[in-house]
Structure formats: structure tokens, C-alpha cells
Structure 1
Amino acid sequence: MIKLVFCLRRLPGLSRHEFLRYWLEEHGPLVRSHAEALHIRRYEQAHSVESAAGDALAAVRGAPSPFDGVASLWFDSMADMRAAGATPSGRHAARELLEDERRFIDLPRSPLWFTEEHRIV
């Protein structure tokens, strides 16, 4: 199993509330509608939570400003994910998702990478 981790920062001009609402209520269903074409096995959104405890922990560690959220997408394998992207329906789905992401995500400030998970606890 391969996981894509995408740390999201919202576009300037969007409030945190606007960003999180759009991501959950508009983009989430769009991802769901393309999951089969893209061979997405699981999709989760982790929305940041504002808290004094989180601010204090970040300050003690010297952490950078937080992301607005983290998207996680699971695929059976890199080969399976690439195969999905090679089909007309997969390419259409990927284009549609990217077009939508440009509406609310500051893409140049939102890193993403693939991972292999190792459960410790």
C-alpha cells in the first residue's frame, strides 16, 4: 500500500473557515466521484484545529506556521496508481481535481510526497 500525503495551505484571501468548508463540502465529494477512475482506495482529510495548546507546543519546538490541513490518499501500489493515470478516465479525473485544487489550495506552498507506512504502536 502506498500513501500520498499532501500538506495544504489555503490561498491568500480565503479565511480558514472558507478553506475548510470548501475542501470538505466541495472538493471531498469530487475526489469521491473520481476515486474509482484513479484507483484511490482511501481518502482522508485532517483539518487543523486552532488551539492555545497547539500554539504553545509549536513555540517550544520552534515549529513553522501550521498547515491548514493534510490530505491522505491510499493506493494499492505505485504501479496501480500510474496505470489509473494512463487511462482516459484517469487523466480526466486528475485534470478535474487539479483544476479544483487551484480554487482553494496555495499549491506552491503545499508540499506532497509518497510514503510507505510502518506502524509502531
Structure 2
Amino acid sequence: MIKLTYMIFPRDDLDREEARRRWMEDHGALMEKHASTLRVARYVQTPHVTHPLEQTMAAARGAVLQIPLGMAEIYWASRADFEYSFEDRGARRAYRELLEDEKRFAATAMSPWVGEEREVIPAAGSR
């Protein structure tokens, strides 16, 4: 599987809860609408959950704690499906609609990255 990962940060001028609602509900529904056009095999939203240990973990790494809305992961079954989603005219239209929707809730500086998962510890029940 090929996975595209985004760390989602809210727009500065938007209430955090409203940004989260727009991302999780509205954008999630838009991803569902375009999933087959984009040949998406899986879409996962991982919303941030505040925990007091975050500051400790950041300090141990010498990092400044930056709190995202969460993380989004888009999966394709193959590299060919992933590449198709950027080559097909209908898929490019879907991406433009998704990008316009992102502007309703997300800060403009997002760093997407592509990877292939390497499962080191399998989920319980899949061993």
C-alpha cells in the first residue's frame, strides 16, 4: 500500500472546534464522495487528543509543542493507483475540490509526504 500523510493545523482565524468539525465531517464526506474517482483504498482521520505527557515528550526531544487538529492518511492499494489519481482528469478535478475545501479549515502550510508502511508490531488479532 501507498500512503499519503498530512498533519492538519487549523487556520489561525478560525475557532479550533469549528475547524475540527469542518475537517472531520465536511471534508470527510467529500473524501468519501471522491474515493472511487481517486482510487482511494482507505482514508483515516486521527484527531488530536490532548494529554499532559505531550509537553514532557516534546521537551525530552528539545522540540516546541505544536498541536495539530490531527493527522489524515490516504491509502492506495498500489503505486499505479496512486499515480493514476494524479494523472486522470476526473481525479484532478476531485483534488481541486478537496484542496478548495481544505482552505475552509486548514492552515496553508501543510507538508504531505508519501510512504509505504512497514508493520513492525501487527495489530492485536492479526498475528
Structures share fold, TM-score greater than 0.5: yes
Normalising by the residue count of structure 2, what TM-score does the alignment of the two structures yield? 0.86
More off after superposition, 12-21 vs 58-67: 58-67
Name the residue aligned to 1:114.
Answer: 114
Q: Distance in 2 between matches of 1:57 and 1:40?
A: 33
Offset at residue 53 of structure 1 (A): 2.0
The alignment-based identity, stated in percent, is 37
Deviates most, 3-12 or 50-59: 50-59
Residue 39 (1) aligns with residue 33 (2)? no
| Partner AA of 1:104 in structure 2 | F
* Range 28-37 or range 82-91, more displaced: 82-91
Q: Distance in 2 between matches of 1:114 and 1:61?
A: 24
Aligned residue runs from structure 1 range 81-96, under 5 A? 81-96=82-97
Q: Secondary structure at 1:50's aligned position in 2?
A: coil
Structure 1 distance, partners of 2:24, 2:79, is 26
- What is the CA RMSD across the aligned residues, in angstroms? 1.4
Question: Hey, what does 1:30 align to over in structure 2?
Answer: 30
The equivalent of 1:51 in structure 2 is 51
**What's the TM-score, normalizing by structure 1?**
0.89
1:49 alignment partner, SS class = coil
Query: Residue type matched to 1:59 in 2?
Result: A
The CA distance in 1 between the partners of 2:63 and 2:49, in whole Å, is 16
Q: Which residue of 1 aligns with 2:125?
A: none
DSSP-derived class of the 1:7 partner: strand
Provide the rounded CA distance (Å) in 1 between the counterparts of 2:75 and 2:13.
31
Instruction: Name the count of aligned residue pairs.
Output: 120
Counterpart of 1:70 in 2: which secondary structure? strand
Give the superposition deviation at 1:112.
Answer: 0.9
Matched to 2:53, the amino acid is A
Note the residue ranges of structure 2 that are not aligned, 5 or more in a row: 122-127
Cα offsets for 1:58-101 (capped at 9, x unmatched) = 22322232322110010122322222333332121111001101
4+ residue segments displaced more than 4 Å: none
Q: Quick check: which one's helix share is greater?
A: 1
